């Protein structure tokens, strides 16, 4: 039991990351049914997708997460989410302040994902109930200047000093019981997991992409802006994304101005590759934890194994701690 499992009446302190168009109702409900908490990926904001996935989740308790700068362009999506009485609303990548009051007024817990201590302070000002502390190991977007191992204790200390009722989740590189045990030891109340659940049967991912990820190791990812430029997504400022390297990324990473100049032509090539599921060009968005994933599994099995292995590890260390006492 952690403060997270008590606050959200969950069995295991494991939350599914709201991965855009990957984390639909099937994956989110599977995680909740196994004792974690599933968050549907609200992503860049597609109202039909959001309505459909909430409807499919039915009475199963799930939340959803938005890309904050994109939500600012389509603020009505937050109303759609709040109409469904979500277990939580998560905001990532942008200032949460303009949306925080609406989430609080609806009586819904607010989760804010942050990448730096400065962003953590802003999330606390916005009244976040849960702060997701994302290190640069993570799959998908982030800032990438801090790693999970140091940012989690920094944020846990900040919260303990200034807002002790706020919960802290670790994100970035957590793929098994070792990661969960480490996160708890660093002061987190639980974990938010993306890449490991991306490789679940219920994730909306092509089997060919899954196969590529399973064959990759932890050295195989890179942080880059190439896949935002090619998809014409207007990510702003400090954000880059981590994904699997391939021929396309190797060709354009470091040549972003040239890519922008050649965009219409290269974007057509990219779209064809996405349609053909050619992952030498199309993107496979995973983090460094991909190296620990050797098999696609049902999400429920991922939750149960992660929780069981972490309990076993922490039990072992409880035994070992006896020999450390002087």
Ligand X SMILES: Cc1cc2nc3c(=O)[nH]c(=O)nc-3n(C[C@H](O)[C@H](O)[C@H](O)COP(=O)(O)O)c2cc1C
Which residues in the 182-221 window bind ligand X by CB under 6 A? 192-195, 198
Nearest distance, CB of residue 191 and ligand X, angstroms = 8
Q: Which two tokens stand for residue 69?
A: 């700068």
Stretch that binds ligand X, among 133-141, 152-160, 262-270, 315-323 (CB under 6 A): 133-141
End-to-end distance of the chain based on CA atoms, in angstroms?
29
Binding flag, residue 22, ligand X (CB under 6 A): yes
- Residues 21 and 43: beta-carbon distance below 8 Å: yes
Q: In what order do the strands lie in the sheet with 14-16?
A: 14-16, 190-193, 167-171, 130-134, 110-114, 89-92, 62-67, 38-43
Residue from 71, 111, 230, 289 that binds ligand X (CB under 6 A)?
Answer: 289
**CB 146, CB 108: distance < 8 Å:** no
* Phi, psi angle pair for 132, to nearest 5°: -95, 120
Of 233-272, binders to ligand X (CB under 6 A) are none
Nearest residue (CB) to ligand X, 229 versus 302: 302
From 8, 13, 6, select the one nearest 311 (Cα to Cα).
Answer: 13
Q: Total residues at the site for ligand X (CB under 6 A)?
A: 29
Rounded Cα gap, residues 101 and 277, in angstroms = 42
Looking at the Cβ atoms of 52 and 260, the one nearer to ligand X is 52
Question: In the complex, what is the shortest distance from the CB of residue 319 to ligand X, in angstroms, rounded to a whole number?
Answer: 29
Given 286, 293, 306, 310, the residue binding ligand X (CB under 6 A): 286
Among positions 123, 168, 171, 266, the unique one binding ligand X when judged by CB under 6 A? 171
Among 24, 43, 94, 96, binds ligand X (CB under 6 A): 43
> Phi and psi at residue 85, in whole multiples of 5°?
55, 55
Answer yes or no whether residue 71 interacts with ligand X by CB under 6 A.
Answer: no
Residue ranges in contact with ligand X by CB under 6 A: 17-20, 22, 41, 43, 65, 67, 92, 113, 134, 137-140, 171-174, 192-195, 198, 285-287, 289
């Amino acid at each position: 039991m952690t403060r997270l499992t008590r606050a959200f009446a969950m069995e295991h302190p494991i939350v599914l990351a709201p991965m855009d168009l990957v984390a639909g109702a099937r994956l989110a409900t599977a995680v909740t049914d196994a004792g974690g908490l599933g968050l549907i990926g609200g992503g860049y904001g597609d109202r039909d997708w959001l309505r459909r996935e909430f409807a499919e989740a039915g009475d199963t308790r799930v939340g959803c997460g938005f890309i904050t700068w994109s939500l600012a362009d389509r603020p009505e999506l937050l109303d759609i989410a709040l109409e469904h009485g979500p277990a939580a609303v998560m905001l990532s990548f942008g200032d949460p302040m303009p949306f925080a009051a609406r989430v609080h007024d609806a009586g819904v817990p607010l989760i804010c994902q942050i990448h730096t201590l400065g962003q953590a302070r802003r999330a606390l000002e916005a009244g976040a109930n849960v702060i997701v502390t994302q290190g640069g190991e993570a799959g998908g977007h982030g800032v990438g200047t801090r790693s999970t191992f140091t940012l989690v204790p920094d944020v846990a200390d900040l919260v303990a000093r200034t807002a002790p009722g706020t919960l802290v989740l670790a994100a970035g590189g957590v793929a098994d019981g070792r990661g969960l045990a480490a996160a708890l030891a660093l002061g987190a109340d639980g974990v938010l997991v993306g890449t490991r659940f991306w490789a679940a049967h219920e994730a909306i991912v092509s089997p060919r992409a899954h196969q590529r990820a399973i064959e990759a190791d932890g050295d195989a990812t890179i942080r880059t802006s190439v896949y935002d430029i090619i998809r014409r997504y207007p990510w702003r400022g400090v954000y880059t994304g981590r994904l699997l390297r391939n021929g396309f990324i190797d060709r354009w990473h470091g040549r972003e101005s040239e890519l922008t100049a050649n965009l219409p032509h290269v974007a057509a090539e990219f779209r064809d590759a996405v349609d053909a599921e050619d992952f030498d060009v199309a993107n496979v968005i995973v983090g460094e934890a991909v190296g620990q994933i050797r098999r696609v599994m049902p999400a429920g099995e991922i939750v149960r194994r992660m929780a069981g292995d972490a309990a076993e590890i922490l039990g072992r260390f409880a035994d070992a701690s006896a020999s450390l006492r002087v």
